[in-house]
Amino acid sequence: MGLGGGQTFLRSVLPLLPRERFDVCVLNLRAATELSQALSADGVPVISLNQPRWSPLQVASLASALRRLRPDIVHTHLTVGTLLGRAAAILAGAPHIIAHDHLSVSSEVYSTPPLVVLAQRLSEPFLRRRTDMYVSPAQAVGEASAGAKGWPAGRLRVLPNPVDCRAFVPPEDRARWRRALGLPERFTVTTFSRLVPQKRPGDVLRVAEQVVARFPEAQFLLAGSGPLEERLREQIASAGMADRVRLLGFRRDTAALLAASDVYLSVSSGEALSVSILEALASGLPVVATAVGGTVEQVLEGRTGYLARVGDVARFADALVELGEHPELRRALGAAARAHALDNYDTPIVADRLARLYGELLAR
């Protein structure tokens, strides 16, 4: 946990672009971060401009850096990056410009300041005149964004978030991983989530209550932190579920937790293309999730897991009880989940798709 889709994309994919074809440099508006250091260590140059968040000089600073670098393609990321980055690229006379939006429309409402969203909407009619390509992590997300933000449909391309299928692998013995983490030997359902309203963490407790009542061998792990943490902890205690729903706080050992799990659960009301779901798929876990955004492309109903409407606690519980009672079904769906991740989301595959998108632009 810790990196969102946009950061994971940069960290994973840029070092794999063929150096003989692409000379990549990252411009960071802010001060150097852990991500900047990781990219630099992997041989990707990062220039940090140290601009304050609300500085009026951000676009000018970016444009000046772009004039020095003279790139053939300016690939901008996330809402602020696609707003300021494209404006700077136009001022600098960049030949080709990409707007890469890693958020769904619903996620943007929760995670982006309203003034930034308003500025993006108002400026889009001008910016799109020089924007050659719009990139989204999933087809459904891209189509929704195109409708809401006025993107020309013909310029939309899909490029999913990546997952490292060598770092996340199905273990031979999930019980051994549970023992290593000090967990009881039970059917284990895991969720990684920020504890914020959009992620609906209270639904995890409600689902757990229904599942444990019907399948007492179940336990739930919820890793993450946020403003709802204390309230959720009190609700878990009041429900008498403290020994079945464990709040783990912020964790970095995601691969180990997934190795100790039997199913991954996502109850979020909005996702673009969840990195946590990708990691679960690569770990050979069936996924039970809300049918939102790009999740419908990750979780193939009845093949790699099950989908439910937002807030449909009974449907979540039914799916989890079925998976708990039928280990052979878990194994079959988990194997299909791993194959789905390898075929569509493994980092080298996504890096190759990015290289082809760049090649498409340069051939124009």
Give pLDDT, residue 225.
97
User: pLDDT tens across 210-233, in order?
Assistant: 999 999 999 999 999 999 999 999
Task: Specify the DSSP class assigned to residue 283.
Answer: T
Tokens of 125: 């009619």
Give pLDDT, residue 107.
67
User: pLDDT tens across 75-108, in order?
Assistant: 999 889 999 999 999 999 999 999 999 887 766 6
C-alpha closest to that of 313 among 212, 222, 206: 206
Residue 179 burial (CB count, 10 A): 13
Give pLDDT, residue 19.
95
Q: What's the one-letter identity of residue 112?
A: T
Q: What's the one-letter identity of residue 316?
A: F
C-alpha closest to that of 87 among 63, 115, 64: 63
Give pLDDT, residue 106.
64
C-alpha closest to that of 278 among 337, 195, 362: 337
Rounded to an integer, what distance in angstroms lies between the CA atom of residue 53 and that of residue 80?
10
Give pLDDT, residue 2.
43
Mean pLDDT to the nearest integer, 272-283: 97
Q: How would you class 354 by CB atoms within 10 Å of its CB: exposed for 0-12, middle for 13-18, buried for 19 or more?
A: buried
pLDDT at residue 360 tops 70: yes
Q: Which domains does the chain have, with CATH numbers?
A: 5-161+347-362 (3.40.50.2000), 174-344 (3.40.50.2000)
- Whole-number Cα distances in Å, 204 to 131, 143, 200, 246: 41, 30, 8, 11
Give pLDDT, residue 194.
96
Give pLDDT, residue 8.
85
- Phi then psi dihedrals of residue 178, to 5 deg: -65, -45
User: pLDDT tens across 298-338, in order?
Assistant: 999 999 999 999 999 999 999 999 999 999 999 999 999 99
CB 54 within 8 Å of CB 26: no
Tokens of 171: 């273990």
Beta carbons within 8 Å of 11's beta carbon, 6+ residues apart: 3, 35, 38, 39
C-alpha closest to that of 192 among 101, 283, 302: 283
Confidence of residue 251 (pLDDT cuts 50, 70, 90): very high
User: pLDDT tens across 45-73, in order?
Assistant: 999 999 998 899 999 999 999 999 999 99
